[in-house]
Amino acid sequence: MGMQELRKEYLLHGLDEREVLADPIAQFRVWFDAAVAAGLPEPNAMTLATVSREGRPAARVVLIKDFDAEGFVFYTNYASRKGEDLDATGVAAMVFYWPELERQVRVEGNVARVAEAESDAYFASRPLGSQLGAWTSPQSRVIAGRAELEARLAEVTQRFGAGPVPRPAWWGGYRLRPLLLEFWQGRPNRLHDRICYQRTPDGGWQIERLAP
């Protein structure tokens, strides 16, 4: 089968702008809970898109660790490529894709670091191996090989032993405060449902249907 013959018909659900919740975060929670209930692998995985100060885009898959009315929270090395992009521009986009439910959510907004206390609390909740990994990896930097990582891990393990492991100063969280959320539901004949929420000047949300 050639690539042009790879097709899927979307038949599971529909999405009506007259039936969605007025609050997009509440609507997102409905869909996220459905993804969790369906037993999907890593339902909190999303593609994070950033842009550098020079306008060079980049995207990668990361995990959100919290979301509420204030936005979507994820954690990373501040000195990584994405950390540098986020600190330089303060904007990002996210895409959640749950193919088993034929659903996708796009989010665009402004990004800022979370409070140090929030990063400390989350870091303390991580498994010991993940804590040591944060100290080990100079994320996004060129390294000589796997052996370099293993040597750094051995050094860090000897340094901290069984813990507690403090949060590295270069590691912490970001919160994306959404200005736009789009809910996409696959439909037959590529006539998909797209319901878009956009932030209004008074802090509310305008709901519109977009053509597929």
- Residue 164: is the preceding peptide bond cis (ω within 30°)? yes
- How many angstroms separate the CA atoms of 59 and 171, rounded? 19
The residues with which 13 forms a beta bridge, in sequence order, are none
Neighbour tally for 59: CB within 10 Å: 15
Q: Are 126 and 168 in contact (CB under 8 A)?
A: no
190 is known as an active-site residue:
yes
Choosing from 53, 56, 60, 190, which is the catalytic residue? 190
- Extract the tokens encoding 129: 């191996």
* DSSP conformation letters of 2-32: -GGG------S----TTTS-SSHHHHHHHHH
> Catalytic positions, please?
190
